[in-house]
Structure formats: structure tokens, C-alpha cells
Amino acid sequence: MTTVRREAFGRMPPEEGGGEVEKFVLQSDSVRVEILSFGCIITTLETKDRDGQFSDVVLGFDTLEGYKRKHPFFGAVVGRVANRIANGRFKLDGKEYQLFLNNGPNSLHGGAKGFDKVLWSPQVLPNGVRFFRLSPDGEEGYPGDLKVWVTYTLSGRELAINYQAQTSKTTPISLTNHAYFNLAGQGSQDVYDHEISIEADSYLPVDDTKIPTGEVATVQGTGFDLRQPVELGKHLQKFHLDGFDHNFCLHQGQDRRLVARVFHPPTGRTMEVHTTQPGIQFYTGNNLDGSLKGKGAATYPKHSAFCLETQNWPDAVNKPHFPNVLLHPGEEYNHTTWLVFNTA
């Protein structure tokens, strides 16, 4: 049985149209998750350890003000296009589109005011909540009126996130949730003792601005071979890696498949990621620097969390040999990611 509760969380400033920000609390026997109508943000995700103790395993803030200030997309749904687009530029049907540059020379996670920074319209479901918004033609430089639905449902140990969209003009789209996890509990200093595996035979090498070079490289014999579980801290040392911020190329297909698993031996917590998406961005919080005050006055230093963002491959709109990222009028974008929490 999942219970769903809604409560006030804050108000948008008048210059942004006012409007109440609500929080939706989804609770089952083993998982409790809180989600905002602002940015569809997961603010809290509590799950049990092997002794049955709940801990909050996602980074975030206690107040709306925290999420309104500049932060690294904690818990938010990002779009229209997750990840980076080279030079914020792409061509469609002979026309060139220029996006806002918010990540060095590139456009990241939708631009200056992406889906993470706006109020969505909520609808309570028996076991979850569905958010809707219309992204108007030209918003952040993207073509077409885009209708978007993001649905969170909780059943037992499994949180499902479904993304649907329809457009009036051909547009690139790639949606993901940018939750930062630490299975020891948010506020823990690093994720070095986590064991991770990712079901991917290849990954995308990137240039110095984090744009894929276009090569689809085998993981075999490299530090990117995570097909068998590795202990993160030791693995980074062994391969002299500063951390991960890379797309892993998943086996293609429309069906649900297990793509990643994380295990935290001290608490026994495990998290599995299942998805229909063609890629997963594994990011180890390399840019966290301890400057943000998070929940319960926690600070978040470098490598104090990891992200597993299921999505299309970065810069796919400029790389025809990458999986198709274009949505055409009359089609439906429909992807789901499932997070399954257990103890071992």
C-alpha cells in the first residue's frame, strides 16, 4: 500500500508569477519519497538499511529558497534536453537553432531556465503524482509547443519515473531526473565505499568541455569497465581517475532492463536502476565543493554523492550515428526509469 499526501512547501516570488509550491509525500512500507511541484524535484528519499533503520539517501535543501538559488540540479527533472549540446547549437530542417550557453561553451540541461526551475501542475494519483507543463514554442531557443508529463509512482521498494511528451514541431528531447545519491545517508562525506556496476560494453569519450568526441569506445581493459562491481574509491585510485562524468551506452531496445546496481556494504542498502533509455550518465559529484549548505546544515564535498541519469546520449542532436533524439509531431516520447531499493 502506498499513501500519498500533499502539503504546502512555499510560494514562488511575485516576479515569477507567485503560485504555491506543493510537496507530495509518497510512502510505502520500505520507501518514503518527497517531491515538489517546482522542478519535479525529489527532495527526500528515505530507505531502510539492513537493521530496518530509515535514512534519507538524496542530497538537497530544507527550504524552497535553497532550490531557488544556484545549485547543481539536486533531485530535479532536467530538459528539454538533459546533458550537453555542443556550442548550444543544432540544425533542424535546414534551420539553425542557438541555445543559451550555461556550461562554458555549451548548453547544459535545458539552458538558463530549464524544466528544473519552473512550476508544474500536479495531479494526485492513487500511488503517486503526475506533473504537467506546456513548454512554449521558442522557450530557451527550442522549437515547438511541447506538452510534458512526468509521473512518479511508488509501489513497495520501487519508485517509477515515467516521462511522456508531445510536440507541435520537430524538437530534440531527452528527459532525466538528476538526483544525487549517497546510500550511507545524505551528509556522509564521500561515496568511496559504494560498490557499483553498470551493464554497458561501451562508453562515450569526451573532450575537455565534456562533449562526446563521437567515438563509441569499448570499456574492455579500461577504468570504464564496470560490468563487474567495483569499490568506487579504490577503482578511482587504481585508474588515476578524478571521477566519472560520462555516458555509458546501454543495450538498445524499448523494454525495461537492469542497467546499474549500487551496493553500500556498511548499511546493506542496494539500489538498482532499470530503464528503457539508451544511455546512463554516471557522475560522481566531481564539482561539489562543500560550499552548499544542504539539509540539516550538511555540507556536500567533492565525491559525496553519485548520479545515475538515464537519458539519451549527450549531443545526440549533432551526431547522426547516436540514438535518435528528435520528437516529431504526431509521435509520443515515452520513457520510464525504475529505482529499486533493497538490503543485502
Q: Determine whether 7 is an active site residue.
A: no
194 is in an annotated binding site: no
Q: Take residue 218 and report the three cell numbers written for it.
A: 569499448
50 is in an annotated binding site: no
Amino acid at position 244, single letter: F
245 is in an annotated binding site: yes
Domains defined for the chain, CATH in brackets: 3-343 (2.70.98.10)
- Which residue in 109, 178, 274, 335 is the catalytic one? 178
179 is in an annotated binding site: yes
Distance separating alpha carbons of residues 155 and 174, to the nearest angstrom: 25
Q: Determine whether 178 is an active site residue.
A: yes
Q: For 168-197, write each residue's pLDDT tens digit.
A: 999 999 999 999 999 999 999 999 999 999
Backbone φ and ψ for 21, nearest 5 degrees, come out as -95, 125
pLDDT of residue 16 exceeding 90, the answer is no
Instruction: Sort residue 39 into left (φ over 0), alpha (ψ -120 to 50) or beta.
Output: left
- The answer to pTM > 0.75 is yes
Range 105-116 average pLDDT: 95
Q: For 60-101, write each residue's pLDDT tens digit.
A: 999 999 999 999 999 999 999 999 999 999 999 999 999 999
83 is in an annotated binding site: yes
